[in-house]
Structures are given as C-alpha cells and as structure tokens.
Structure 1
Amino acid sequence: MIKKLLRTLNPLHKLEKQRRAFIKRGDVPLSVRRYFETPLPNSNTPLSELNFVVLDFETTGLDPAEDTILSCGMIEINNHVLSLSTASHCYLLTHQGVKPETAVINHILPENLTGGLDQAQFTEKLLITLRNKVVVVHGATIEKRFLETLLGLPEGVHLPVIWIDTLVLESSLYVNKHNFNVDYRLFKIRERKLLPPYLAHNALADVVATGELLLVLMQEIFPQGDATLNQLYTRSTPGG
C-alpha cells in the first residue's frame, strides 16, 4: 500500500500519466503527438544510460503570444559526455522582424535570418532531436512556453517532457537554500564553479555552457557516483 502511494506521488509517474493522456487528445496535432508515443524512461534508470539534449532559444522577447523564436541551439550529452559532434544551431524565418532592444542583447540582425528555417522545418527538426530525450535548460520557463506555443498546444496542455533545469539544480544546493541574494544567471553560476567565460546570449554557446554546468552539478550533487533519473528530476523540480 505504501509503495503504491509513493509511486503515485512520484513526479515521473505523474508525468508518464500525463504522456498517456496527451497522446489520446484530439485537440493536439497528430504531428506532435506521434513524437511522444514512447513511454518515459524508468525512474530508476542510471543517468549514464540516459540521452540528454540541451536546448536554448533566443527570442524577440519574453511573451510567446507576442514574440517569436529567432534562433535555437542544441547539443547532446551521452554517458556523461558533452558530444560536440551533435551540436547544432539554426535561425528561423520570421515575419515579425528583429526588435532593436533584443538585437543589442543577442546580436541577431535581420540578415542573420536570411536562409533560416521556416516554422514547419524548424518544428520537425526540433521534435526529431527532442524525441526520447531528457531536455536540459537553464531557466526552463522561456523554452517551455515558447515550445508549447510553437507546437500549437491548447491552453493549459503541457508537453510530457522531462525537463532538467540547471538553475533549479543550483538553487537546490544546501549552500544556496537560505541565501536570497544568489545570482542564478548562467554566467554567474559558471564563475562560481570556476568554469571558463563564454559568449552569452548565443544559442549555440549557451547550450555548451549549460551542458558543461549540468555535468559539474551532477558531480557536486551526487559525489558518490551515478544517480538515477528520479533523483535528478526530483531535485530539478521546484520545491523538490
């Protein structure tokens, strides 16, 4: 009875139930549903046996209802190795144009978007890469919201994706638990971990930087060796 209750409360068990409901929905595009037909990995799967993909979007703003994705970076982590051969970066065609205020930050100009992918091409590329992967981000809100808007999901319907958030992992460390003045920006966390500087606000550079940070955090959080998916996911869930 207790084991059954604990299993029901397990966040990965809840996510698997969400996945099964998701693929049965009639208001989610079939082109999206078919990428989520495979059951999620077992919660006891060692991290070394999982396939991770680090994801980063550069956008024209923070509101997916008003703004758009300009570029995307992705890179995979397999067996605790950040695989540079899997790194990819693409620009997206947009009719919205580039906002001057964001161009100052991410240095993406209209000419960069020439020859970029259209929405259908980008969506297909993205879903193929994310399929059957654990998705790693730094500050998951942007990627989650823009991805769900891009895929045309109904309001309140969320993708059955295992998100690992390096920002939340860092905040979960005991040294940060009761310190409300910690700077959780990616470059600041990397400075504290003595990781080298990188080109911030470039989607490709950001995914490499985030992937490196994840590997450092996993070593710091689980110094005794390989942990399980459930341990990492619970730690990466706000309040976990």
Structure 2
Amino acid sequence: MFRSLKKKWNLKYLKDERFRFLFDDSEEDEIVVFDCETTGLNPAVDTIVSIGAVKIKGNKILTNEAIHIYVDQDKEIDHKSITIHQIRNCDLHGAIPIEEAIERFLFYVGNRSLAGYYLKFDVAMINKYIKPMYGITLPNKQEEVSAIYYDKKISTIPQGNIDLRFDTILEDLDLPKLQAHDALNDAIMTALIYLKLKHTTKLK
C-alpha cells in the first residue's frame, strides 16, 4: 500500500512523458541487475564513471543484451578513484555525456524490478541525475542481494554475525569471481548471486 502511494506521488512530478513507462506494472519474470562505478562514495558530490546492467529473464542471465556505458567527466578523475575502479581518464575516449547515459539506462531498465549489491547507493547515484532531469526518482521495485543472503543464512548462525562482503558471498555460494570493480562484471556476478539465492531454500 505505502509503495503504491509513493509511486503515485512520484509520478505526479514526472516532467517527461517519454518515461511514463517506468511506472507501468513490471513483468514478474524479468529483472535488471546493475552496478555503477563512481568517483567516490558520496552521491552529493561524486559522479558516475560507468554503468553496467544485465537482464535476468526466468532463470537466464541475458549477457548478450547487457549494457556497459562509460560516462564523460567534466574534470580529471582523482587518482584514489582510479586505484579502485581502474578506469583512467584516457579510457573514457568515446564516453557519452551523463544525460545520454541516464536515458540509455532508463530505456534499458524499463519498468522491470532492480537488484544489486549495496543497491541503495547505486540507486542514489542514478536518482541524483534523474531528479533534476525528469522530476522523479526510480520507481522500480528493488531487491538487495545481501539482504536475501542474510535472510537465508541467519538460521545457520543464530548469533547473527554474518559476513556480507561481496567476495565472501561469492565464495560461500561457490560462484566464479570475475574481474572486480568493473561495472558490468559486478552486475553479472551479482546476477549469479541473485539466481543462486532464489533457487536455494537454505544455506549451510
């Protein structure tokens, strides 16, 4: 009920009718997993460097339909940021403006549910741009994979001291680790986690 009211309130502020489809009822068998690489961890001042997203349809991860968008920067990327995501200023040759990147992302996502690891941060980074551009925040249903993992793990560790680090979850679920801090690879690994958890009733 609360989510429905919040969604209606959000829709009232939509400034671009092209994106009304974001508020349509989602298809239950499709979800988008996404990840952002950014210049830092503060949505108020930091910017998006790249966005990776991949669709899950039923039990399949549609890597052939994935997107990996590099975003042009107004200023040089800080060295500390580069050491984390490994994206240098020279790697952004051919990158697109953030406005175009956000549009591509929204048309890709559509009205599908979203999933991610530390999703609240990635959503906040997207909202930073779509709020002034279109007057709204992402209305899509959202699922946090670390919360799903926690709920399935808690019964095995009564004291509740559960390690929710990304690499720990991958190892515990016996999933492959791709090159880290690459937005698309992170999205694909998170999609693997999501599917494994959805088909696991109880973790050891």
AA of the residue aligned to 1:34: R
AA of the residue aligned to 2:57: N
AA of the residue aligned to 1:103: I
Q: CA deviation at 1:36?
A: 2.6
1:39 maps onto 2:33 in alignment: no
Q: CA deviation at 1:90?
A: 1.4
Relative to the length of structure 1, the TM-score reads 0.76
AA of the residue aligned to 1:110: N
Contact 1:72 1:203 in 2 (8 A): yes
Contact 2:23 2:111 in 1 (8 A): no
AA of the residue aligned to 2:198: M
Q: How does 1:39-188 map to 2 (within 5 A)?
A: 39-40=25-26, 49-152=28-131, 158-173=137-152, 174-176=155-157, 178-180=159-161, 182-188=162-168
1:207 maps onto 2:178 in alignment: no
* 3-state SS of 2:159 partner: coil
Q: CA deviation at 1:40?
A: 4.7
Q: CA deviation at 1:222?
A: 8.0
After superposing on structure 2, the runs of 4+ consecutive aligned residues of structure 1 that deviate more than 4 Å are none
Task: Give percent identity, aligned residues only.
Answer: 23
Unaligned ranges ≥5, structure 1: 1-12, 42-48, 224-240
Distance in 2 (alpha carbons) for counterparts of 1:69 and 1:177: 39
The aligned residue for residue 14 of structure 1 is 2
Q: CA deviation at 1:158?
A: 4.4
AA of the residue aligned to 2:131: G
Q: CA deviation at 1:172?
A: 1.3
Distance in 2 (alpha carbons) for counterparts of 1:29 and 1:178: 48
Relative to the length of structure 2, the TM-score reads 0.88
What is the number of residues matched between the two proteins?
199
Structure 1 pair 20–40 and aligned structure 2 pair: CA distance change class (3 A): farther
Contact 2:102 2:126 in 1 (8 A): no
Distance in 2 (alpha carbons) for counterparts of 1:196 and 1:81: 16
Contact 2:35 2:116 in 1 (8 A): yes
Q: CA deviation at 1:35?
A: 3.6
